[in-house]
Structure 1
């Protein structure tokens, strides 16, 4: 299993200037490589090297490995773009979004992240320093800081490339760690998790993680952004820049907390976790205009990914199930009827009279589908 560890660099002003010049040179070179790739319709790393390697080394002062990484970064960006096109993520052929994206070469922000491998970046874990190549030469002894758990992870499992990132004037290294997979424990049952907006996550045990605080925070941030954009003074723009990631950090912290609680409970009770497969929900759901902002800011994918990676580290099984009609199906008798949901929070079965909170009922249906899905998939594995 691959994880990333982010540590903060503490460079001197001179070191920071050299790092900034390196990122700028690398991303200007990436823009040039991207234009050549787009013009000549040449997207493979090996082919791009023949057209651009010598030129970007000479024009931008990049060392051999840095030039190779710039070319690979561009090739990877186009590979991701073409995968999105194939998967329909940019709309069908002839759509405005797809035409806009494919009509021009990919561009790179002047401060976009740049990958480094062990030839141009070395870690001194015990001393809490790194040595890194820059356009001003090799910089040694750049201090970094991180938690004890992060440093232990780096020392034990760091492998592969690390990305240099500048964010809001602060410098970070994001290192890849290859952690050995933990064997998945065969579950006795499943904890069903129903994801929502009013209630972020509800488990089949009846635990409900309210979204009231998060939604209120998002509304406050949206009102503040609107006021700052309308004011448009220098101080307003400065405050908007400083706060632009505040909402995302707040939501990510809540999702981490919820995911940890769900995985911990599943691990403690020897159960797996059943999640809804909500892929493509934004395209399927039709909402009134005031509700669209709420839906599109709903970070259900992030919460699902947090649960998945925390469960993998704990050896807890995770299965994704079809969420169709889970909110209209009685978890007691299995009767499906739209009238079972008289309102958003209430479930009352019109067949057997069973009553429960609607989200808890849906979570129990998801748990039952998880049991069935696990049995089917592992019966197929056993037969093979």
Structure 2
């Protein structure tokens, strides 16, 4: 079984919106109170914390039994976070306090003022996902700046996983968001230009500091994030679709901790820290799972310094960001493409398949074009 979150916009009336707002506020206050108790008593186990705060959450904050349990469960996931609390932005629901009528486009939610039915706006793609779901396990009520949303947690049967005839290697980067082992580059130039423009505009408005500038900053908030999210959805959909059509799995780099490992000059740090490789990896993972495409992570070390033809590994092979020149056999080509080819080969080892030259030639056929030699 797999879970997928489907977001739908809510259209509450004025009185219903007030009930939802009170529920979100009290839920956040209850979570923060339970968090204080958990820290003081070092009680992060859900059942131990429930014995300490359940009655107080019911009586002091007016939560129903299920909402109190959801608040305690959310606090239990916060273990290890030393600072910070919960903002009044969302409420968790299980299937007992949330139900959906897809045909009537109505969701029923439990609030601190009783049960309410709220009209929803369901687009065509969301309707398809909801109708094909095995069931809805719960959801999350989310308060936006000027709107309300419900994220429905839908359960699906896992599709049959294909037996891959090779792996499509994917090299993640900043100049190019991704480059696959077939040589196709998914450019990040437009996304990077948007980020640079937003960064300059924020700096200018923050320096100005007027009320109008602050209103403008508030309006711009989240715009860059939404654009990057859309770009990652588009890129991941294309990669998974290609792998599914060609009967291959997907191999990606394990980049965990890369921000701590890499040393960069100051002008490059903001670019690295705005690089949403984790979000792209998550989207690739769940889209591949939904399509029955195997996805594996491989060691990222030296993938861009190793020659895919002779295996020679040397730092000087990478002569620039885009250019690769092997110091041993003289192979010349695009560095990101060759890195993706190496990732593709490592994908076989990640699934415990015997590696052989024949298997490599089949899975990487056409990946390394004839290149000029030095």
TM-score using structure 2 length: 0.90
Q: Corresponding residue for 2:125? A: 149
Cα 1:115/1:346, change in 2 over 3 Å: same
Q: 1:149: Cα distance to partner?
A: 2.5
Give the Å deviation of 1:377. 8.4
Name the CA distance, whole Å, in 2 between partners of 1:207 and 1:42.
51
Query: Partners in 2 of 1:108 and 1:183 — Cα distance?
Result: 40
- Per-residue deviation at 1:254? 1.0
Structure 2 Cα separation of the partners of residues 138 and 3 of structure 1: 25
Q: Note the residue ranges of structure 1 that are not aligned, 5 or more in a row.
A: 82-100, 379-384
Task: Specify the alignment match of 2:144 in structure 1.
Answer: 167
Aligned to 2:109: 132
Give matches, 1:326-345, under 5 Å: 326-345=303-322
Give the alignment of 1:74-153 within 5 angstroms.
74-78=75-79, 81=80, 102=82, 106-109=84-87, 111-140=88-117, 142-153=118-129
The 2-side partners of 1:156 and 1:351 are apart by 54
CA RMSD of aligned residues (A): 1.7
Q: What stretches of structure 2 of length at least 5 have no aligned partner? A: 356-374
- Correspondent of 1:261 among 196, 220, 238: 238
Question: How do residues 235-254 of structure 1 correspond to structure 2 at under 5 angstroms?
Answer: 235-254=212-231
1:194 paired with 2:151, answer no
Change in Cα spacing, 1:28 to 1:277, as seen in structure 2 (3 Å) is: same
Instruction: Write the distance in 2 (CA, Å) between the matches of 1:75 and 1:352.
Output: 56
| 1:370 aligns to 2:371 (yes or no) | no
Q: Between 36-45 and 204-213, report the one with greater CA deviation.
A: 36-45
Cα distance in 2 for residues equivalent to 1:118 and 1:269: 39
Using the alignment, how far apart are the partners of 1:113 and 1:53 within structure 2?
A: 20
Whether the 8 Å contact between 2:348 and 2:354 is mirrored in structure 1 is no
Partner of 1:28: 29
Aligned residues: 353
Question: Are residues 361 and 136 of structure 1, via their aligned partners in 2, closer, same or farther at CA, if it must alter by over 3 Å?
Answer: same
Distance 1:10 1:327 in 2: 50
Partner Cα separation in structure 2 for residue 373 and residue 70 of structure 1: 39
Question: Displacement, 1:283?
Answer: 1.0
Residues 277/148 of structure 1: CA separation in 2 closer, same or farther (3 Å cut): same
Q: Distance in 2 between matches of 1:255 and 1:51?
A: 43
**Structure with the higher helix share, 1 or 2:** 1
Displacement of 1:194 in angstroms is 1.0
Cα deviations across residues 292-314 of structure 1 (Å, max 9, x unaligned)?
11111101111111111111111
Partner residue, 2:372: none
CA shift for structure 1 position 151: 2.2
Tell me if 1:229 matches 2:206.
yes
* 1:98 match: none
SS at match of 1:206: coil
Counterpart in 2 of 1:95? none
2:362 aligns with none
What is the rounded CA distance, in whole Å, between the counterparts of 1:63 and 1:274 in structure 2?
A: 46
